[in-house]
Structure 1
Amino acid sequence: MVVDLAQITEKTKAYDKSLKLQNRSDVRAMDPTGFVFHESRVGSTLVANSLTAMNPAANRVYSESNPINNALKSDNPQLFRDVVYLMGRTNRIEEQNMFFKVSSIGSKRISVMREAFPNSLDICLSGPVQTMMSHLDPAKVDVQKNGRIMAVCTRARRTVEYDGLIDKLLDDIIPNHFGVTVDDKARQLVFEVSKTYSKAKTRSVDVNWVEDSEKKEAHSTPEIRGASELFLSQSYTELKKYSV
């Protein structure tokens, strides 16, 4: 069966509005609080986990969801708005914030999100060598992947450096950029979840964070360092002017 999502969304909006006018429902659609765009292995899962952990009742976090990924691929801002509306419906009073962590490939479609919503977004980005090492076999450099990384670098409104990510999230990005209050309880919950960071569930995030970055640098080949300098250094230098 094939359905028209635009018609479904319009009917859903009309239904929600009619019930609200009759005081028969508390259903509403949350606006997106923020989007997290990223390259792979630069802390995006930790960001999503932190946003969830700090207040699970208030924060709804979608992590690399297929509807969002597919809507971005369409290059259709209206379709993207419709998908976000449907995913943002809630009747829970305590739910106040909605975040989307987009798949790394979706970083090429930042312009679609930006046209659909004038909301803030962040890219968690490591140094050029570390980013290249996350993508490439040290024995082979793929120019197409390099180009995608460079494209992501140049489209960020706000960027977050790989090192010291937790402190930057708690002290700046979440309260100042996303506009979400971080109290002592939320801070403690984020620190707790960071101890079992993302895909490395048994390792301390602080130890893993430093060792991972240094390991990538140490294991990089002269060819990868050269490719990083050639393809990424100019964009990365410009990007750092706006990063935290």
Structure 2
Amino acid sequence: MPMLVRSPIKILAFIPLLISVQLPLLCNFSASSLASQVEAETGRDRQAEADRLQQQGFAQAQKNRQYEAALNSWQKALTIYREIKNRLGEAQALGNIGYAYFLLEEREKAIQYLQQNLAIARQIKHRQEEADALGNIGTVYYSLGDYRKAIDYYNQSLAIQREVKNRQGEAICLQNLVTAYRYLGEYDKATEYEQQILAIANTQAEANSTTRLWQQFKIVERYPNL
């Protein structure tokens, strides 16, 4: 099974979680400034709560396999991100919800949420998020047995991973392409992409770290019927 990013089955970053950056507060003296400060603090509190829910959902899904609980946490996070108009957080929460539906084997819903994830990533021009969303959509199509469509999404993701110089993301996409082509019986194409993976390993100063990455994201055949 190809790897889904940002998650244990990453193809691709199913999901980087958004970590809030807390800015230092300034001392304000006027009444209007104080009101603005309170509003800012409230916004930061809501941001922190949404981020906590993201992390909570990740722990529920990965450590405890409580997929319904994880879905609930991510839905709550999504609501908050929308309230505070955090578009990147909204995109990532949508991606995580798609991941939850993937784990719950509700593939069509997974695609719906991942497409929303992709749409926002493109609107805000966040190329890494776009690459991850594309790869994750590819993995859902792979799980449905639509290997050609999966390959199309993997190639789109691969192009962006290379554009943003994300070597790990590039390696994950290449590995997923290898797997998809093998399932199609196109072993020459699979070998072609394997050679590209080896080229990445050879150009990495920390080849051992790259090897560990591939081992960590090794494809798990969870669906023997595919």
TM-score, with length taken from structure 1 = 0.29
Greater relative contact order, per chain length (Cα 8 Å cut-off, separation 6+): 1
Structure (1/2) with the larger strand percentage: 1
